[in-house]
Amino acid sequence: MRYADPGTPGSKITFKPRYDNFIGGKFVPPTKGQYFDNPSPVTGKTFCQVARSTEEDINLALDAAHAAADAWGRTPVATRAAVLNKIADRMEANLEMIAVAETWDNGKPVRETLAADIPLAIDHFRYFASCVRAQEGTLGEIDETVGGVVSGAIVNDHVTFAASAFPAVSFTRGSVPPPLRVAV
């Protein structure tokens, strides 16, 4: 099936001309006010502009994530699972729209985004909704190589990964060197 191009009559989606960063529950312009053109691989033409984020924007996003982490961690697991399932429900209800948007953005055939990519993303939200209800607080070794250990643990409703490149060195959130830092 051929879908109408975004923004044309009969299309499943219309893109805004410009997208800001989504930080702390709201859209905010990039701190330096810069945007870049986002061309579609489908046509090679720009279909929107996207915030050109800098270190300052990333730090704002990390600050917002850290500010929300404690409240989210105290949210009952049934509520967190319901939120993840609601996201999956919304994605499923808008499957064609999301699939066409994904195709327009990455150039993949819509049959793949419609039959595989988006349904798998939906499945991931449902899977993690079930995981959050079943977590128990365990530690498991993932791999032991080069004299170091990489492991993951679920402790007090937070997922924490500790990694060591050298046997006596381990990192926790907040002390991870900048190239390895990930917001959780």
* Interval 153-168: pLDDT, tens: 444 444 444 443 333 3
Give the pLDDT band of residue 133 (cuts 50, 70, 90): confident
Between 98 and 147, the more confident residue is 98
Where do runs of H (alpha helix) occur along the chain?
55-74, 77-93, 95-106, 110-112, 118-134
Averaged confidence pLDDT in the chain: 82
- pTM confidence score: 0.70
Residue type, 114: L
Query: What's the burial of 166, exposed, middle or buried (CB within 10 Å: 0-12/13-18/19+)?
Result: exposed
> pLDDT tens digits for 86-112?
999 999 999 999 999 999 999 999 999
Q: What is the DSSP letter of 40?
A: -
